[in-house]
Amino acid sequence: MKAIVTILLKDGVLDPQGKAIGQALHNLGFPQVGEVRAGKVIEIELNETDAAAARTAAEAMAERLLANTVIESFKVEIAG
């Protein structure tokens, strides 16, 4: 199975990278752009056949290594 962990800064945490991207998109001629948030995505191949076990493992990985849960939130998706 594959686990896809998406990590974004929590609401209220300043995101200068997102701000810079938003500004650059405006300058490139995309006036419809509003707030931009930049984050990370990590795709993990898991040698695991049970989706629930894969999710539990991926959440533990996110908590322990991938995300800084003080300032970041994460979401786990499990793909076939």
Q: Of 47 and 70, which CB lies nearer to its own copies in the complex structure?
A: 47
Which tokens hold the place of 44? 């993990």
Tell the smallest beta-carbon distance from residue 70 to its own copies (Å): 19
Site of interaction with its own copies (CB under 8 A): 6, 8, 18, 21-22, 24-25, 28, 30, 32-48, 57, 60-61, 64-66
CB of 28 vs its own copies, minimal distance in Å: 6
The set of residues, in sequence order, having a beta carbon less than 8 Å from that of 51 and lying 6+ positions away, is 1, 78
- Neighbouring C-alpha atoms within 13 Å toward the C-beta of 16: 0
